[in-house]
Amino acid sequence: MRAGMALLMLAGGVAVGQDGQVLPEILELRRRCAAQIAAGDVPLQTRRLAELQELETSRAAAGEYEGAQRVAVVRESVLGEAAARADTRARVLLHSREVTTRGSGLRDDPATGVIFFSKKGATVEWDVRGQFSGWYEVRLTCAVKGSPRSKDGYSGEGEKKAGGVVAFSRVGGLGAAAAPVVHGVEGTGGWNLYETVTIGRLSLSSGPVRLRLVAEKAAAEGLMNLARVELVPVTGPVAVEQADVLPEALVKAREAFLKSYAERARGATERYRKELAGLEAAFEKAKDSDGVARVKQERARVAGEPDPGMLSGGDAERVRTVVMGVGDALGCSWRGECRLSNTKDVLGGLRPAGGAAVLWKLRAYGVPTGTWDVKIKARVGALGGGTAELQLLGAGGVALGDPVAVEVDPVQTPEEREKDRDDEDAVVPGAESRTIEAGRMKIPKQAETLILRVNGLTHADGTLFDLKALELQPGGGS
């Protein structure tokens, strides 16, 4: 059984563990099932939208504006379902070691980068840039002393030992964007036992965005150890469709759609359930109790009638580019003489040859099985260059498959460097930012870790490069 993966929870109807990710094996099965269902989904959705548009127009023409508005709300929710399938926004990871602004009442753990919120008013802020327009589900990864939902944790009553209330918001937002997400933080079993909880939804816009996390309340022994905040793209809040307040014609239209969907999806959903049963049996054979528990939760989630949202949007998203940075203490570690930059996003000076290495936990980044094209984002300095290799590791650090060789061309060769020493007018070359095409890797389900090892250096007193991130892009074929 893998250590540290025994804590499970059900958030938003999705089985998650400490890393807040659905099992890659389950994601792969979901995508297969969703693809089968989606094959006939477009004409069905088109017909439903046309019926709703016709109903909305007829209601408005008859002067029934309230009824027309209710139809418009449902039509927007249907468009939202389609938008969820087409959503290409990436997840936003806000690591504790990457905060831009910090207040009092905080204490850092240099070894892990975790921040301890000790009292009320403790505040951290992140500045991020990118295309963020839309709604996001906010997930908090933290550890708190005390048992979940017990008197040992903060409950607002009796003795307050640990835990409290946090508020997460966008600084300077207007309207719905300014409303903070407020959530009560309870015990997770200990200060070193991390869980990922969904605390609410937040709307963001594109461009520079400042995000703030504040301790609204804190118990006597402190609020929490914060590892990271994750923003997962979702569709916006949708009004609940209640049969007793909707026009009868709209109720019938919705029922007809759900019936058609259920008939078409039943076969694919049943195959999905059988595949989950096979996956559970495989985990049992491997004595993987964590995998068994999480597959059982997924089976329970899809035990009833097919739901149009069961496999669309959220964690059932298509395979996208996965960026594995170096500032996540829970997902990335390293050895050698390298050091993390002050901005916590660059691992500088990978050396020595044969001793330096960087390791990423695949499950921490939600990397599913499959074929991936690997790119390395790095900065090569004047004394940079050399050779390395990428290797997949299974349980116990056992190597899986053949390593992928990585060549890093130097900015200057040893001969050029020696020549420049004798030239008083020589200009020392500057560092170069590069995207290194490392090659293609096939990641099997038993892979747990991806390691980058430094094998050789162009300059004996130099480094391989300053590492920013490893980027995995879905690759076709095998």
In a domain? residue 333: yes
| 347 and 396 housed in the same domain | yes
271-275, 314-318, 361-365, 403-407: which is most confident:
403-407
Query: 327 and 470 share a domain?
Result: yes
Query: Which residue, chain included where needed, has tokens 């990922």?
Result: 196
pTM of the model: 0.42
pLDDT at position 7, please?
23
**In this structure, are 361 and 450 located in the same domain?**
yes
Domain region containing 357: 322-474
- Cα-based torsion angle of the residue sequence 65, 66, 68, 71 in order, rounded to the nearest 10 degrees: 170
Tell which wins on pLDDT, 320 or 17. 320
How far is CA 278 from its chain centroid? 26
User: Confidence class of residue 10 from pLDDT cuts 50, 70 and 90?
Assistant: very low
Taking residues 174-181, what's their average pLDDT? 64
> Last residue of a domain, which of 234, 265, 291?
234
Residue where a domain terminates, one of 234, 264, 289: 234
Q: Is residue 276 part of a domain?
A: yes
Which three-class secondary structure string do you get for 361-406? EHHHHCCCCEEEEEEEEEEECCCCCEEEEEEEECHHHCEEEEEEEE
Least trusted range by pLDDT, from 77-91, 141-155, 268-282, 320-334: 77-91
Q: How many other C-beta atoms are found inside a 10 Å radius of the C-beta of residue 213?
A: 25
Distance CA 228, CA 401 (A): 32
Same domain flag for 367 and 423? yes
Bridge partners (DSSP) of residue 225 are 116, 143
Give residue 435's Cα distance to chain centre: 23
What is the pLDDT at residue 1?
A: 29
pLDDT band, very low/low/confident/very high, at 192 (cuts 50, 70, 90): confident
Last residue within a domain, chosen from 272, 289, 316: 316
Pairwise pLDDT comparison (236 vs 187), residue with the higher score? 187
345/382 same-domain check? yes
Which span out of 25-34, 81-90, 118-127 was modeled with the highest average pLDDT? 118-127
Least confident of 18-32, 63-77, 366-380: 18-32
Q: Is the pLDDT of residue 49 over 60?
A: yes
Measured distance CA(7)–CA(359) in Å, rounded: 23
Q: Smallest Cα–Cα separation from 441: which of 411, 471, 416? A: 471
Please say if the pLDDT value at position 31 is more than 60. yes
pLDDT at 334 over 70: yes
DSSP 310-344: SSSSGGGPPP--EEEES--TTTEEEESS-EE-TTS
Over the stretch 282-304, which tens digit does the pLDDT of each residue have? Answer: 888 888 777 777 777 777 767 66
Closest CA to 383 of 359, 348, 355: 348
Least confident of 51-55, 165-169, 252-256, 415-419: 252-256
Same domain, 195 and 100: yes
For the residues of 174-237, what is the DSSP string, one character each? -GGGGSPEEEEE---SSTT-EEEEEEEEEEE-SS-EEEEEEEEEE-TT-SEEEEEEEEEEEPPP
Give the range with max mean pLDDT: 55-59, 70-74, 160-164, 438-442.
438-442
Gap between the Cα atoms of 154 and 152, Å rounded:
7
Residues 183 and 263 in one domain: no
- The answer on pLDDT for 228 being more than 70 is yes
Mean pLDDT is lowest, of 158-167, 404-413, 459-468, for 158-167
Same domain, 214 and 248: no
What are 381-440's pLDDT values in tens digits?
A: 989 999 999 999 988 889 998 999 999 999 999 988 888 777 777 677 788 999 999 999
* Number of structural domains found in the chain: 3
| Three-state secondary-structure class, residue 46 | helix
More confident residue, 6 or 476: 476
Q: Are 462 and 384 in contact (CB under 8 A)?
A: yes
The predicted structure's pLDDT at residue 323: 83
Residues 331 and 469 in one domain: yes
**What integer best gives the mean pLDDT of the chain?**
75
